[in-house]
């Protein structure tokens, strides 16, 4: 079986509904059953914690030594200690990528501190994952409506720190077209919910910058992996292998 790298999964709790798998062990069983051979995991609790680094430490401890997981540290660069937290993630907790949630943490990617974080990632040779949304905006709790991260902000950050490798997580298909011409900017397919999902994504995103991501457990991983096996996915084998694993390995710097 060929490798399948999932670039966006979470462990933890979501305040608005029960999830089918909240622990790394439960999630690993479901992902592996669908053919995933490695997953990039971030702490879901970090989205709403006042200090996301508390969630980093807990998750890092629970996946330590498990080669199935690539630990992704969650940061809020508007907090006073974010630089210390970033260094701890990379040097002590084993993070191989960092992730930000600008819309949930109340800042814009045009903030100078976001650029400083991107510069740190470029220096340390790790990707910066930008979570554009946590769910389709139409399904938000009526008291917690959070607009997606503006693509103009993503492009502005890319232009300001072109050396940083960025991963746009949870981009809609229509958004991928606006990002496709930017080097060093990848997109994952978890929110590519369109007719012929994979084909539509590949039409709008350069094949070498598209990666697989499931957004599990908020999305069902079985449905996400089916995008790669759907009848419409009749692409050259090299293209499918790149989306399944090769592009993610390049993004990770391995």
Instruction: Answer whether 6's CB lies under 8 Å from 212's CB.
Output: yes
pLDDT single digits (tens) 154-167: 999 999 999 999 99
The Cα 31–Cα 9 span in angstroms is: 10
**58-77 per-residue burial string, b: 16 or more CB within 10 A, e: under 16:** ebbebbeeeeebbbbbbbbb
| pLDDT tens figures, 78-98 | 999 999 999 999 999 999 999
Label residue 202 by pLDDT band (50, 70, 90).
confident
d(CA 75, CA 217): 20
Instruction: Tell me if the domain spanning 5-252 has CATH number 3.30.200.20.
Output: no
Lowest mean pLDDT among 27-31, 42-46, 71-75, 189-193: 189-193
Burial class of residue 42, CB neighbours in 10 A (0-12, 13-18, 19+) = buried
Rounded CA-CA distance 127/245 in Å is 15
Structure tokens at 8: 């966006």
User: Residue 1 pLDDT more than 60?
Assistant: no
Q: Which pLDDT score is estimated for 237?
A: 85
21-69 pLDDT, tens digit each: 999 999 999 999 999 999 999 999 999 999 999 999 999 999 999 999 9
């Amino acid at each position: 079986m060929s490798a399948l790298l999932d670039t966006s999964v979470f462990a933890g709790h979501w305040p608005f509904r029960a999830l089918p798998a909240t622990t790394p062990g439960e999630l690993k069983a479901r992902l592996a059953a669908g053919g995933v051979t490695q997953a990039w995991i971030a702490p879901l609790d970090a989205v709403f914690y006042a200090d996301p680094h508390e969630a980093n430490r807990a998750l890092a401890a629970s996946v330590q030594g498990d080669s199935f997981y690539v630990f992704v540290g969650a940061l809020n660069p508007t907090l006073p200690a974010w630089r210390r937290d970033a260094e701890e993630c990379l040097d002590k907790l084993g993070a191989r990528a960092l992730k930000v949630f600008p819309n949930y943490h109340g800042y814009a990617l045009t903030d100078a501190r976001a650029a400083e974080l991107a510069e740190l990632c470029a220096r340390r040779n790790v990707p910066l994952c930008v979570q554009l949304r946590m769910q389709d905006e139409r399904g938000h709790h009526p008291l917690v409506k959070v607009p997606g991260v503006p693509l103009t902000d993503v492009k502005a950050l890319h232009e300001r720190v072109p050396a940083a490798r960025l991963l746009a997580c949870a981009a809609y298909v229509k958004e991928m077209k606006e990002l496709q011409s930017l080097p060093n900017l990848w997109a994952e397919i978890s929110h590519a919910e369109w007719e012929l999902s994979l084909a539509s994504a590949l039409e709008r995103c350069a094949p070498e910058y598209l990666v697989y991501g499931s957004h599990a457990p908020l999305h069902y991983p079985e449905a996400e992996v089916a995008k790669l096996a759907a009848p419409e996915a009749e692409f050259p084998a090299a293209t499918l292998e790149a989306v399944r694993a090769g592009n993610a390995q390049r993004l990770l710097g391995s």
